[in-house]
Amino acid sequence: MVRDLEQYSAWRQGVIAAVANYRDWIVQADLADAAAEQRLARTLSKLSDDKLSVAFVAEFSRGKSELINSIFFADFGQRILPSAAGRTTMCPTELMYDAAYPACIRLLPIETRAANLSTSDYRDDPHAWTVLPLQLDSPEHMQEVFKQVSLTRHVPVEEAKRYGLYDENDPDMAVTLDSDGLVEISRWRHAIINFPHPLLKQGLVILDTPGLNAIGTEPELTLNLIPHAHAVLFILAADTGVTKSDIEVWRTHIGNGAGRMVVLNKIDSMWDPLRTEAEIDAEILRQQDHAAHMLGLDARQVFPVSAQKALVGKITGDHELVHKSRMKQLESALFNELIPARKDIIRRRLGDELAALSGAQYSALSAKTRGIMEQLLELKGLRGKNQTVIAHMARRVEVEKKEFDESLFKLQATRAVFTRLSTELYSSLGMDVLRDSLVKARAGMQSSRFTTGLRDAIGGYFDSIHANLDESERKIEEIRSMMETMYKKFSAEHGLSLALPMAFSLAKYRDEINEAYSIYEKQFGTATMLTTSRVVLMERFFDSVASAVKRCFKAANADTDAWLKVIMAPLESQIRQHKEQLKHRQASIARIHDATDTLEQKIEAFEATQAALEAQKAKLASLAAAINDAIAAEPVVLEAAA
């Protein structure tokens, strides 16, 4: 696994190096405008920050934490994450590595659930977290610190309701009260373990979730972490089979999408010394087929394993036990699917980005080349001509320059309209209008505790979001249409080489918002009566949905800003070039007319410039090809470890 991730990281670094070389060269060659530099900077930032996330989801006592210990932490010679009978992971726990932080565990108090903020809203607030350092040279100390994710508190029912963690309508809740009438809840809402493990340093993020009941009560899991994980391992237990709650969570929150795998753990419970190996294998296969049938999967997507025996075998060096645990098959399938799928996403995204960027730079070089060729033809046509012809040529260039200057006055009017439309676009897409919609929705929710009132407030919020997106899309199309007209006009009147303006859409953000709303509707759409605790839970989920919408709007604003800069940049760049070329043509012919330069000297200078531009074209093509080669490269296959 370390080898696979190292190869993936090396591949990513190779792509980053190729893109950085491309950026550095076009800047040095004065081919990069501000928009191109911004797009390349964003591309490099996304590549550098790329993570691979794997989520582990299961009911308690299915061996989930033991599975994580076995796959990722056996080299430490003991369990790192708490693993025992009963519930050991009480809050969502992320294991990752960020060099900006020391080795530590960051813990978000459960009390934050009472506020109108999601876990994501707290991520960049250092004051909200309790931070405990990790002593990397002491596995015992780390093991003790990691027990924080298992800690609980006993609180009054009213406090648990305030956090959305107690529903008096649920008959199973009453039996969870202790002798003092208190509810046991997790001490922490979320944990982030920053740990310099080799896999985590390569960009892997591991998500350990609490039991399945948390999937329905912790919005961050339901709306963000699980849907956006690159791989989700759903763990069942061979001794319990597929339960009703397993089926419900699978269908509602996980599904049979890309990177979704089912692990049938604890097959060692079937290792009966009174039965033959063939009988045991047949029983495991029967359980595997049954689990696949219940979840609507192919049996090959269900992996029978014994996480506990695999961990023991890895720690003790018992290769036969590791083999018998079947863990290698799961590990191979996980990384053989996870990494290629992530590569394909990056390849598609970068391929589109590179095509747009290199196309713009190539057009700019072609425009320069064409201008030089036109001037060469013009100058060569003056060979053997008298001063009268040269003077006529100078007057013609003067007329062209005057016509071009008149076109620039018209462009100023277009710029004014462009500025007005951009301002109108931000008035419907800006963060202020989003905040106003949220304030109105929360006011509506506060004024009603009835099902219809809450739904009306939330429905009104999403209606306003969609109305703003619709208006923004109309403005975007209006801007694009206006710029397309201007591009065509300048191309036709002045021979500029301009591709049509880049298309832009808010569709992906609309889809993300709809996905969040769909998850919310699945959770609460069928409710006909709401208890107080259910209302609190709805509000907590709405807070997380609103946070997700806010992230979408922020990203949409950033992409819109980049597009607005990009859409005008090619036209302005070629206008500057054309203006300079006209100026040079005018000066060159004037000097030849005044006999201050010889015609042949001028022709030689332009031919040298033409050759330099052709060399730049070749270099640009070479650098673009280098990025494509880096994207398409496959890692060198090393001999697998035993």
Whether residue 223 is found in the same domain as residue 307: yes
- At 507-529, the pLDDT tens digits run 989 998 988 888 777 777 665 55
- Listed in sequence order, the DSSP H helices in 495-531 are 507-524
In a domain, residue 486? The reply is: yes
Residue 290 lies in a domain: yes
Going by their DSSP bridges, the two strands 52-58 and 231-237 should be labelled as: parallel
Instruction: Express each pLDDT in 529-557 by its tens digit.
Output: 555 656 777 777 888 888 889 989 998 99
Does 10 map to a domain?
no
Residue-by-residue DSSP string for 443-487: HHHHT--SHHHHHHHHHHHHHHHHHHHHHHHHHHHHHHHHHHHHH
- Among candidates 245, 251, 87, 91, which has minimal Cα distance to 170? 245
Radius of gyration of the chain (CA): 32
Q: What is the pTM of this model?
A: 0.72
* Over residues 610-632, mean pLDDT: 88
Are 315 and 442 contained in the same domain? Answer: no
Please say if the pLDDT value at position 256 is more than 70. no
| Domain of residue 60, CATH code | 3.40.50.300
What pLDDT shows up at residue 632?
A: 85
Q: Kindly state whether residue 512 falls inside one of the protein's structural domains.
A: yes
Q: How many domains does the chain have?
A: 2
Contact 567, 501 (CB under 8 A): yes
In this structure, is residue 531 part of a structural domain?
A: yes
Same domain, 438 and 576: yes
Segment 337-346 shows an average pLDDT of 80
Residue 141: inside a domain: no
Same domain, 392 and 307: no
The reply to whether 553 and 483 lie within a common domain is yes
Q: Which domain holds residue 522?
A: 383-596
| 458 and 539, same domain (yes or no) | yes
Nearest-angstrom CA–CA distance, 119 and 164: 15
Task: List all residues 6 or more positions away from 436 whose beta carbon is below 8 Å from its beta carbon.
Answer: none
Q: Are 423 and 274 members of one domain?
A: no
Q: Are residues 418 and 507 in the same domain?
A: yes
Mean pLDDT across the chain: 81
Q: Which of 67-71, 85-89, 122-126, 482-486 has the lowest mean pLDDT?
A: 85-89
Do 450 and 527 fall into the same domain?
Answer: yes
In a domain, 153, yes or no: no
Kindly state whether residues 282 and 399 are assigned to the same domain: no
Same domain, 430 and 317: no
Task: Please say if the pLDDT value at position 302 is more than 90.
Answer: yes
Q: Which helix (H) or strand (E) holds 589?
A: helix 532-593
Q: Is residue 200 part of a domain?
A: yes
Q: Tokens for 285?
A: 């296969």
> Is residue 267 within 8 Å of 257, Cβ to Cβ?
no
500 with 389, same domain? yes
DSSP state, residue 249: H
- Per-residue pLDDT tens digits for 135-160: 888 878 888 898 898 888 899 988 88
